[in-house]
């Protein structure tokens, strides 16, 4: 099939290249990928398994007060959700979004050879403050968590009996305080009690003609998911975390176990039900999936029954467990033929795998005398392979090229963004 493509290129020019690519974009992965390329993919998959794939963000404390601090830990994880050391110094951007007002940002560095770093969060407002962490560069998946800041507990002091009045200096011990004179027996001032009773009969509190609106002082629940618009792998390990928070007006923790029930259209939710333990402020459940799907999660009920603020339904996307991408092409290029360059997606075992959705890969030639058509390859959702055609701009200039390289960039590759391919032209200077 490739020779016929080359013939069309020479006879039709660049337009023919685009036409030929349209005809050749759907090769069979099992038949077209050379064995040597498959070996390279398996080796690359083994190497990528030791590299950071995602991060997790955890707050040490929940239910803190305004002004208090909580330690937040950022941890690098590999594809098996195990901590892994940073291959280099890595910077992360931290965004703190309080319940109201603008977000603040800061940077946290994980040194080379370390798997985690910590920073302190100081509470400024009651409610949920979201903490979102993105890598400064690279394709490591971001993460988010929330910190519940509660009101200070209401500590009402007991009413104390006023101390007895003392006689002012220079007065006789027979001096009686105004209170004693007022409540004293046998004095005419007792008639003033009519006025006092009339005053006391008037009810205290809001005007019954204009009652104040009722205040809801019941505890409430908040729900949150660590989804930052990302995709989760359908490998049974990658976890979407659903967290429930208990928020009481007086800032107290849950008085007893609170059970929350959810329904999920796909995947496995564990534990079921989600539990906020007595004396705690939060509880979590993990959602995983072994097959690509969009899991719709809905809150059903809580026991004991409590109102829930915010969203009660979530959509979590699980995609095929694509681990990396390989650029496959010939080791040698003839000066008279055109060759096909393939982009192959592979899983954790190094085997080709369909991407689950249409993905675009940008190809770039480091040699201006060579052209790739098209330069942006679209891989269909039910395919693991996309391809483009390589051809010279001028055949005469190709003899002076020697060795040339191509760079493939995939902006959404979860395990490294780029793949490099070098090809040699025999007999070229």
pLDDT at position 329 is: 78
Where in the sequence is the domain holding 111, given as residue range(s)?
A: 52-151
The answer as to whether 301 is a domain residue is yes
The answer to whether residues 419 and 327 belong to one domain is yes
The answer to whether residues 86 and 44 belong to one domain is no
pLDDT at position 165 is: 43
The answer to whether residues 96 and 85 belong to one domain is yes
Q: What percent of the chain has pLDDT over 90?
A: 42
The answer to whether residues 304 and 345 belong to one domain is no
The answer to whether residues 73 and 138 belong to one domain is yes
Average pLDDT of the residues of the chain: 76
The answer as to whether 194 is a domain residue is no
Among candidate residues 288, 316, 344, the one where a domain is terminated: 316
CATH number of the domain to which 269 belongs: 2.60.40.10
The answer as to whether 332 is a domain residue is yes
Q: What sign does the CA torsion over 225, 229, 230, 231 have?
A: positive
The answer to whether residues 264 and 298 belong to one domain is yes
What does the H/E/C string look like for the chain?
Answer: CHHHHHHHHHHHCHHHHHHHHHHHCCCCHHHHCCHHHHHHHHHHHHHHCCCCCEEEEEECCCCEECCCEEEEEEEEECCCCCECCCCCCEEEEEEEECCCCCCEEEEEEECCCCCEEEEEEECCCCEEEEEEEEECCCCCECEEEEEEEECCCCCCCCCCCCCCCCCCCCCCCCCCCHHHHHHCCCCHHHHHHHHHHHHHHCCCCCCCCCCCCCCCCCCEEEEEECCCCCCEECCCCCCEEEEEEEECCCCCCCCCCEEEEEEECCCEEECCCEEECCCCCEEEEEEECCCCEEEEEEEEEEECCCCEECCCEEEEEEECCCCEEEEECCCECCCCCCEEEEEEEECCCCCECCCCCCEEEEEEECCCCEEEECCEEEECCCCCEEEEEEEECCHHHHCCCCEEEEEEECCCCECECEEEEEEECCCCC
Among candidate residues 133, 151, 169, the one where a domain is terminated: 151
The answer to whether residues 59 and 45 belong to one domain is no
pLDDT at position 393 is: 60
Which of 199-203, 210-214, 346-350 has the lowest average pLDDT?
Answer: 199-203
The answer to whether residues 331 and 394 belong to one domain is yes
pLDDT for residue 281 is more than 60: yes
The answer as to whether 187 is a domain residue is no
The answer to whether residues 345 and 261 belong to one domain is no
The answer to whether residues 312 and 241 belong to one domain is yes
pLDDT band at 265 (very low <50, low <70, confident <90, very high): very high
Question: Which two structure tokens, joined as six digits, stand for 283?
Answer: 């509880």
pLDDT at position 193 is: 45
Q: pLDDT tens digit string along 376-387? A: 888 888 888 888
pLDDT at position 61 is: 94
The answer to whether residues 61 and 35 belong to one domain is no
Q: pLDDT tens digit string along 82-137? A: 999 999 999 999 999 999 988 899 999 999 999 999 999 999 999 999 999 999 88
The answer as to whether 165 is a domain residue is no
The answer as to whether 162 is a domain residue is no
Starting at the edge strand that comes first in sequence, how are the strands of the sheet with 143-150 ordered?
64-65, 143-150, 127-135, 90-97, 104-110
The answer as to whether 373 is a domain residue is yes
Among candidate residues 257, 292, 316, the one where a domain is terminated: 316
The answer to whether residues 30 and 57 belong to one domain is no
Q: Are 351 and 394 in contact (CB under 8 A)?
A: no
The answer as to whether 177 is a domain residue is no
pLDDT at position 204 is: 52
State how many domains the chain has. 3
Q: What percent of the chain has pLDDT over 70?
A: 66
């Amino acid at each position: 099939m490739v020779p016929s493509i080359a013939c069309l290129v020479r006879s039709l020019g660049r337009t023919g290249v685009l036409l030929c690519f349209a005809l050749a974009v759907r090769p069979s992965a099992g038949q077209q990928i050379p064995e040597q390329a498959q070996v390279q993919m398996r080796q690359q998959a083994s190497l990528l398994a030791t590299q950071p794939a995602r991060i997790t963000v955890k707050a040490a404390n929940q239910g803190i007060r305004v002004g208090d601090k909580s330690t937040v830990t950022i941890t690098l994880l590999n594809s098996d959700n195990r901590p892994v050391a940073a291959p280099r110094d890595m910077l992360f951007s931290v965004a703190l979004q309080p319940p109201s007002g603008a977000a603040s940002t800061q940077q946290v560095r994980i040194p080379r050879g370390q798997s985690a770093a910590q920073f302190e969060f100081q509470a400024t407002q009651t409610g949920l403050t979201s903490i979102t962490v993105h890598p400064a560069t690279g394709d490591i998946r971001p993460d988010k968590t929330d910190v519940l800041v509660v009101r200070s507990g209401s500590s009402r002091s007991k009413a104390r009996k006023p101390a007895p009045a003392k006689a002012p200096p220079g007065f006789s011990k027979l001096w009686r305080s105004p209170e004693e004179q007022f409540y004293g027996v046998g004095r005419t001032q007792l008639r003033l009690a009519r006025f006092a009773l009339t005053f006391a009969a008037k009810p205290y509190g809001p005007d019954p003609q204009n009652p104040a609106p009722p205040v809801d002082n019941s505890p409430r629940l908040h729900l949150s998911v660590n989804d930052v618009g990302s995709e989760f792998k359908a490998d049974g390990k990658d976890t979407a975390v659903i967290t429930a928070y208990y928020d009481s007006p007086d800032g107290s923790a849950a008085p007893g176990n609170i059970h929350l029930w959810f329904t999920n259209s796909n995947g496995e939710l564990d534990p079921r039900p989600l539990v906020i333990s007595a004396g705690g402020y939060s509880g979590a459940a993990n959602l995983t999936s072994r097959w690509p799907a969009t899991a719709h999660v809905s809150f059903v009920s809580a026991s004991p029954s409590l109102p829930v603020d915010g969203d009660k339904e979530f959509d979590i996307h699980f995609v095929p467990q694509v681990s990396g991408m390989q650029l496959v092409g010939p080791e040698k290029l003839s000066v008279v033929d055109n060759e096909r360059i393939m982009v192959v997606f592979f899983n954790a075992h190094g085997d080709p795998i369909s991407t689950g959705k249409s993905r675009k890969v940008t190809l770039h030639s480091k040699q201006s005398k060579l052209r790739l058509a098209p330069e942006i390859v679209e891989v269909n959702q039910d395919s693991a392979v996309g391809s483009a055609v390589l051809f010279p701009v001028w055949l005469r200039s190709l003899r002076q090229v020697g060795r040339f390289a191509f760079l493939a960039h995939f902006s959404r590759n979860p395990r490294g963004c780029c793949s490099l391919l070098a090809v040699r032209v025999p007999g070229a200077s």
